[in-house]
């Protein structure tokens, strides 16, 4: 494994969507998530982490130490059991794998094994006590919800199909409407997310320099491998990283985030809705001493 990171980081991440649904809300018929008070679009941290996991799974397939713990249809107890068996730690005669070993050193070994072998555990953390106990980890990498720069307007589009599913449908008159359903899209939306990376928490999970570089790669490229009918045109637009010169940091995160301004180029009162990233400008102001700015994208 690579050397554990020794600097604290924060980052501002800008991405956009064109004629797509960046994050459907299952409680609202899969409409794009919205803040009901402001009509600003939302994308959850869980959605962004899912895309990071998917990129790493593709990029580091079969690479030791970069397995993904939280993946589709993964049986988490089976993931936990791998640690017990790899370390040859016998299960308790009464409780089986439900409780960590009474020997604290062995208990730490189990959790450390999960961090060493699963990229997302040592990055995002995990509660690994679902029947088979592998402890819990607080991850050094955290993301906030992304919010659109301006209010967005979801559109509901009817979609139809030419094929049919039953013989009865096939016998129907050709002029009959075979509506398949509805699709929800945003004509355009530019989103901003904030991220945090703690070097002190990285010490506990082993999150290293190689993991950090992989995280940057994932943020820049994850939409390139996440195309679908609902997310055909999503793109990473800016990744602005604030690097502190020590593990504890030199400035509050909100001060650094406030230095990044995203504004419309057209300042007129009756300006048309934004329809591309070129409708915006991004500026970065001065930051406190001990913090450097790195634009990864």
Query: In the chain, how long is the greatest CA-to-CA distance?
Result: 75
Q: For 110-137, how does the pLDDT look when each residue is reduced to its tens digit (9 = 90+)?
A: 999 999 999 999 999 999 998 899 999 9
Q: Which residue has the tokens 């029947």?
A: 131
Per-residue confidence (pLDDT) for residue 267, from 0 to 100: 92
Q: How far apart are CA 146 and CA 108, in angstroms?
A: 34
DSSP, res 67: B
Alpha-carbon distance 11 to 257, whole Å? 8
Q: Using one digit for the tens of pLDDT, what is the confidence trace for 39-95?
A: 999 999 999 999 999 999 999 998 999 999 998 888 999 999 999 999 999 887 787
State the average pLDDT over residues 182-192.
93
Helix, strand, coil shares, percent, the chain, to 5: 30, 35, 35
Q: What whole-number percentage of the chain has pLDDT above 90?
A: 78
State the Cα–Cα distance between residues 24 and 185, nearest whole angstrom.
9
Buried b (16+ CB within 10 A) or exposed e, 193-215: bbbbbbbebbebbbbbeebbebb
Q: Quick one: pLDDT band at residue 168, thresholds 50, 70, 90?
A: confident
Give the pLDDT score at 255: 97
CA distances from 58 to 37, 46, 286 (A): 38, 18, 38
Q: Please answer whether residues 114 and 80 qualify as being in contact, where contact means their C-beta atoms are separated by less than 8 angstroms.
A: yes
pLDDT value at position 46?
Answer: 96
Instruction: Please report where in the chains the tokens 């909100």 appear, as a residue.
Output: 254
For residue 179, the model assigns a pLDDT of 58
pLDDT at 1 over 70: no
10-19 exposure pattern, b = at least 16 Cβ within 10 A, e = fewer: bbbbbbbbbe
pLDDT for 147 beyond 80: yes
- Those residues with Cβ within 8 angstroms of residue 56's Cβ, 6 or more apart along the chain or in another chain: 66, 68, 119, 120, 214, 218
Is the full-model pTM beyond 0.85? yes
* Contact criterion met (CB below 8 Å) for 294 and 244: no
Q: Per DSSP, what are the bridge partners of residue 16?
A: 190, 235
Contact 23, 143 (CB under 8 A): no
Please give the pLDDT value at position 85: 92
Would the pLDDT of 252 be above 80?
A: yes
Q: Are 116 and 1 in contact (CB under 8 A)?
A: yes
Residue with tokens 């995002």: 124
Residue 173 has pLDDT above 70, yes or no: no
What pLDDT is stored for residue 78 in this prediction?
A: 92
Mean pLDDT of the chain: 92
Per-domain residue ranges of the chain = 9-63+139-151+184-295
Please, which pLDDT band fits residue 8 given cuts at 50, 70 and 90? Answer: very high
pLDDT band at 229 (very low <50, low <70, confident <90, very high): confident
Query: Are the C-beta atoms of 5 and 141 separated by less than 8 Å?
Result: no
Q: What is the pLDDT of residue 172?
A: 65
CA-to-CA distance for 284 and 289, rounded, in angstroms?
15
Q: Which value, to the nearest 10 degrees, does the dihedral of the CA atoms of residues 285, 288, 292, 294 take?
A: -30
- Residue 256: is its pLDDT beyond 90? yes
Q: How does residue 174 score in pLDDT terms, banded at 50, 70 and 90?
A: low
Q: Is 111 exposed, middle or buried (0-12, 13-18, 19+ CB in 10 A)?
A: buried
End-to-end CA distance of the chain: 26
């Amino acid at each position: 494994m690579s050397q554990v990171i020794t600097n604290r980081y924060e980052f501002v991440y800008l991405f956009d969507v064109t004629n797509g649904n960046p994050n459907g809300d299952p409680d609202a018929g899969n409409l794009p998530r919205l803040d009901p008070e402001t009509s600003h679009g939302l994308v959850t941290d869980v959605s962004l982490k899912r895309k990071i996991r998917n990129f790493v799974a593709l990029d580091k397939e079969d690479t030791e130490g970069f397995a993904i713990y939280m993946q589709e249809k993964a049986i988490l107890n089976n993931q936990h059991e791998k640690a017990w068996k790899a370390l040859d730690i016998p299960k308790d005669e009464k409780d089986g794998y439900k409780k960590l070993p009474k020997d604290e050193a062995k208990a730490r070994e189990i959790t450390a094994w999960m961090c060493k072998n699963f990229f997302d555990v040592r990055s995002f953390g995990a509660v690994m006590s679902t029947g088979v106990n592998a402890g819990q980890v607080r991850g050094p990498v955290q993301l906030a919800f992304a919010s659109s720069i301006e209010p967005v307007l979801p559109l509901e589009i009817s979609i139809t199909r030419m094929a049919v599913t039953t013989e009865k449908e096939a016998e129907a008159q050709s002029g009959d409407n075979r509506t398949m359903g509805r699709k929800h899209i945003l004509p355009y939306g530019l989103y901003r997310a904030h991220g945090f990376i703690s070097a002190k928490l990285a010490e506990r999970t082993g999150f290293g320099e190689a993991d950090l570089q992989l995280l940057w790669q994932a943020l820049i490229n994850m939409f390139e491998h996440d195309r679908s009918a609902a997310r055909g045109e999503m793109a990473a637009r800016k990744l602005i990283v604030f690097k502190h010169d020590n593990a504890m940091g030199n400035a509050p995160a909100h001060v650094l985030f406030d230095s990044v301004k995203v504004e419309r180029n057209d300042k007129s009162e009756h300006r048309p809705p934004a329809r591309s990233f070129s409708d915006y400008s991004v500026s970065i102001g001065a930051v406190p001493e001990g913090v450097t700015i790195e634009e990864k994208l």
